[in-house]
Amino acid sequence: MSASHIHVSGQTLRAAGQRLATVLATLFGLLVLTFFIGRVMPLDPVLAIVGPDADHSTYQQVFIRLGLDRPLYVQFAYYVRDLLHGDLGNALLTGHAVVDDIRRVMPATIELATIAIIVGTGVGVPLGVYAATRHGRMADQVVRLISLFGYSVPVFWFGMMGLLVFYSWLGWAGGSGRIDLAYDGLIDSRTGFLVLDALLAGDWEVLASALSHIWLPACILGLHSMAYISRMTRSFMLGQLKQEYIITARVKGLPERTIIWRHAFRNILVQLLTIVALAYGSLLEGAVLIETVYSWPGFGSYLTSSLLLGDMNAVMGCVLLIGIIFVTLNLVADALYRVFDPRTR
C-alpha cells in the first residue's frame, strides 16, 4: 500500500472517530439535560404511584424504593448503568418496561410518519420545482401561499377540521384510532404495521378499515412536511437556475424539461436528502398533537400520557429515543451525501 493510500485511510479513520465522538457527546449531553430537568420539574412520581391520599410512611417507602433519597449524581450514575444494560426502568402508566412499551407503540407512529413523508415529498418536491421555474409569477405566489399556510397553521387545528369535514360531514374517513373495533384483533401482528399486516394476511376488509383510518392523519402530517419541503426545494432550485451552466444549456437548445430535471434538480438532490431526512425525524417526534386528536395509539400518545402522569422513566426514554432518531437520520443523510456527491468523499 502506498503512502498516499495510508494517509487517506488515516484521514478517513480520524474523521470517523471524530464523528463517533460527536455523536456520543451529543447523546450524553441530551441524557444529562433530560435527566436533571426531569428531577427538577414540579412532578412527583411517588404521588403518581401511591396517590394523593397515601399516608406519609407509605410515601417514604416508595420514595426510598425509587432511589429518590440519594444525591442526584448517584441517581444519574445508576440510571446510566441501567441504560447501558438496555434498562430504561418501568413505566408508571402501564407497569411494563419502558423498552417494551416503546417497542409496542413505535410501529404505529412509524407507519403514520412514513405515509406522511411520502405524501409530503411526493407533493412538496414537484410544487417547489414548479414554483422555482415560474419565479415571480402568479403560480409561484400561489405555491408560496400554500406553503406558508401549511407551515403556519397549527397541525391540531387541521386535525380537528379534518375530522369535522371528512369524518363527520362526508364520511370519507374512518375516524379515530387505527381500525374499526369490529376488525380489531382479527389478524396477527407480524410487523406491527397494520396496513402491511393486513396485506400479508390477505384480509381486504381489515386493510380497507386500516386505510380509512390512516389516510386522513397521514395527509394532515404530510401537508405540514410538504410546506417545508416545497419551500426548501424552491429555494434550492432558484439558486441552481441562476448558475451559468443552466444558461449554457439553454443556449445550446436543450429542452426545458431536461434542463430542469436532469441538470438543475440533480444538483439539489443531495441537499433535499437532508431536508427529507430531518422532516421525517420531525414527523416521528412531532406526531404528538395529531395522535392525540385522532386517538392514535402511537409514540406521541404514549409520551403525552407519560408527561401528564409525571412518569419520568417513560419521558426520558422517549426523549432519548428522539435524540437517537435525529442523530441516526443525520448520519444516514451524511452517508447518502457521499454516495450521490463524489466531491464529499
Q: How far apart are CA 227 and CA 282, in angstroms?
A: 13
Residue (of 17, 11, 231, 19) closest to 123 by Cα position: 231
Q: How far apart are CA 256 and CA 276, in angstroms?
A: 26
In the numeric block, the cell 414537484 is attached to 126
Q: How far apart are CA 72 and CA 6, in angstroms?
A: 47
* pLDDT value of position 18: 80
* pLDDT value of position 19: 77
**Weakest-pLDDT range from 13-17, 72-76, 125-129, 165-169:** 13-17
* pLDDT value of position 229: 95
In the numeric block, the cell 494517509 is attached to 7
pLDDT in tens, 236-263: 999 999 889 988 988 888 898 999 998 8
**Weakest-pLDDT range from 10-24, 66-80, 104-118, 184-198:** 10-24
Q: How far apart are CA 97 and CA 91, in angstroms?
A: 6
The C-alpha cell that represents 8 in the structure block: 487517506
Q: Is the pLDDT assigned to residue 153 strictly greater than 90?
A: no
Supply the pTM of this predicted model: 0.86
Average pLDDT score over the chain: 86
- Collapse the DSSP code of 180 into the 3-class scheme (helix H, G, I; strand E, B; otherwise coil) and give the result: coil
* pLDDT value of position 231: 93
CA distance from start to end of the chain:
20
Q: Is the pLDDT assigned to residue 219 strictly greater than 60?
A: yes
* pLDDT value of position 69: 83
Q: Which of 2-6, 24-28, 293-297, 305-309 reaches the highest mean pLDDT?
A: 293-297
Strand extents, DSSP E, 192-251: none
- Cβ–Cβ < 8 Å for 282, 151: no
In this prediction, what percent of the chain has a pLDDT beyond 90?
A: 35
- Cβ–Cβ < 8 Å for 301, 287: no
Q: How far apart are CA 318 and CA 324, in angstroms?
A: 10
Q: How far apart are CA 283 and CA 291, in angstroms?
A: 11
Q: Phi, psi at residue 90, to the nearest 5°?
A: -100, 145
Q: Which residues, at least 6 apart from 194, have a Cβ–Cβ distance to it below 8 Å?
A: 108, 111, 178, 179, 206, 210, 214
